[in-house]
Amino acid sequence: MNFDEFTGEVQHRLELPGTGEAVRATRATLMALGQRIPEGNAEDLAASLPMEVKWYMTGAVHEHGQRFDWAEFVSRVSEVEHVERQEAAYHAQVIMDLVASQVPPSDLRQLRDSLPESEDDENWGKLFGVIDSGGWQAESSA
């Protein structure tokens, strides 16, 4: 999948009016994720993604491995994407589902292992909500 296909798929899945919004949602989600996880994990996860998308998780991030919870992640995505927090959370979940379809299962497992999925405020399991419910296709047909 190339960059145009990736952003087109994001635009389609999120029903966004234009490519610019899809790029902004992708950039917001993957930059915030790249800030949270260790640099090596970001490199591994991004390796299977289009070069421009990979850059959001790697080259655009100045400090990897920051410690922040799910709520802060959503705030960061919301701020960059210029959308409400609830919308930002959903966009991140759908984009993560698309990323999961493009990367080896071992890289997704490594990501999940690096993020706490407890039931408290730091519950990163929410990021994988669409994946865990069967993926975007299952979500969209429900």
CATH number of the domain residue 23 falls in: 1.10.490.110
CA 80 to chain centroid: 13
In this prediction, the residues of the chain whose per-residue pLDDT falls under 50 are: 142
The tokens for 133 are 């419910």
Put residue 66 in one of left, alpha, beta given phi > 0 → left and psi -120 to 50 → alpha.
beta
Locus of tokens 């865990």: 132
Q: What is the pLDDT of residue 95?
A: 97
Residue 25's alpha-carbon distances to 30, 52, 114, 117, 120, in angstroms, are 9, 14, 23, 23, 26
C-beta separation of 95 from 29 below 8 A: yes
CB atoms inside a 10 Å sphere around CB 100: 19
Q: What is the pLDDT of residue 119?
A: 63
pTM for the full predicted model: 0.90
The tokens for 20 are 């610019």
Q: What is the pLDDT of residue 141?
A: 52
Residue 39: which domain range? Answer: 3-141
Q: What is the pLDDT of residue 58?
A: 94
Domain count, the chain: 1
